[in-house]
Structure formats: structure tokens, C-alpha cells
């Protein structure tokens, strides 16, 4: 349980720092338009902080960490989330700096971000399979 709480806290710090980064980086570069950077703050707070706070509550109720899938889920979820966030940051910086990426670079950013989303989708499947199995096991013990 402590690991989930610490992870949630770490994502809180990251989300807040990304909010400051967006505000200051945009201001420093005189950028006033829309950018992907504006969504980093909320993505990390929702998919990192809030998700792991909810997972902490589910851990208390169903002992998710006892599942054989827990470690695979944690690695997959965090890898997918961080990959997605990094690519959002790269895309946002390109937008703020008004760079004209080559077609290959643009496709690479989109492709890697897409891989991050796919990895997160796999993690969600692992999470719900793990959760449903743990619910079944707990119900069977009653």
C-alpha cells in the first residue's frame, strides 16, 4: 500500500511541476496559443495521482498486490504513462518553439506517443483482469 501512496505522491509532484513548466516555458517564449503542454498537468494528475489513489483504495479492499499480475501491471502502466507524457512534452515544446519538424520527426513523435497509449491500454486490461480476479477470490472466501 505504501508503494501506491508514494507513487501517487510522486505523480502529484510531477503534475504540479509540469503545470509550472507549461506556464513559465510559454511565458518565456512569448507563446499565447494552444499547445499540448497545457494538458500535461491534468493528464499526470488524473492518470498518475488520482488513478493510484483509487488503486490504493482498491488495494485496501481487495489486496491487489497479492495478484501475480500486479508487477506486470505496474511496469506496463508506468512505462505507458511516462512514455505518453514525455511525447506530449516533446510535441508541446515543438509547438511553443514554433519549430517546423520534418515529416519523419513529426511521424516519430506521433508514433511513439501512440505506442505509449497502446501500452497504457494493455495496462488497463491487466488492471481490470487483476481487479476482477481479486474480487472473485475475495467473494469466494466469504
Domain spans in the chain, listed from the N-terminal domain onward: 2-141
Asked whether 56 and 8 are in contact (CB, 8 A), the reply is yes
Give me the pLDDT at residue 8, please. Answer: 97
Give me the pLDDT at residue 65, please. Answer: 94
Distance CA 117, CA 120 (A): 5
Residue-level pLDDT, tens digit, the chain, 142 residues? 899 999 999 999 999 999 999 999 999 999 999 999 999 999 999 999 999 999 999 999 999 999 999 999 999 999 999 999 999 999 999 999 999 889 999 999 999 999 999 999 999 999 999 999 999 998 888 7
Give me the pLDDT at residue 83, please. Answer: 97
Give me the pLDDT at residue 141, please. Answer: 83
Asked whether 64 and 131 are in contact (CB, 8 A), the reply is yes
Distance of CA 46 to the CA centre of its chain: 8
In eight-state DSSP terms, residue 51 is H
Long-range CB contact pairs, 103-111, < 8 A, 24+: none
Distance CA 3, CA 83 (A): 21
Amino acid at each position: 500500500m505504501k508503494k501506491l501512496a508514494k507513487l501517487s505522491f510522486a505523480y502529484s509532484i510531477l503534475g504540479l511541476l509540469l503545470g509550472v513548466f507549461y506556464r513559465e516555458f510559454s511565458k518565456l517564449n512569448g507563446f499565447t496559443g494552444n499547445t499540448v503542454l497545457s494538458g500535461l498537468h491534468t493528464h499526470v494528475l488524473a492518470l498518475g495521482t488520482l488513478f493510484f489513489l483509487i488503486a490504493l483504495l482498491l488495494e485496501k479492499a481487495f489486496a491487489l498486490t497479492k495478484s501475480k499480475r500486479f508487477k506486470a501491471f505496474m511496469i506496463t502502466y508506468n512505462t505507458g504513462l511516462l512514455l505518453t507524457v514525455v511525447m506530449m512534452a516533446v510535441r508541446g515544446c515543438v509547438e511553443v518553439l514554433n519549430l517546423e519538424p520534418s515529416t519523419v520527426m513529426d511521424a516519430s513523435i506521433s508514433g511513439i506517443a501512440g505506442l505509449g497509449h497502446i501500452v497504457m491500454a494493455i495496462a488497463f486490461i491487466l488492471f481490470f483482469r487483476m481487479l476482477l480476479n481479486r474480487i472473485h477470490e475475495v467473494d469466494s472466501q466469504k
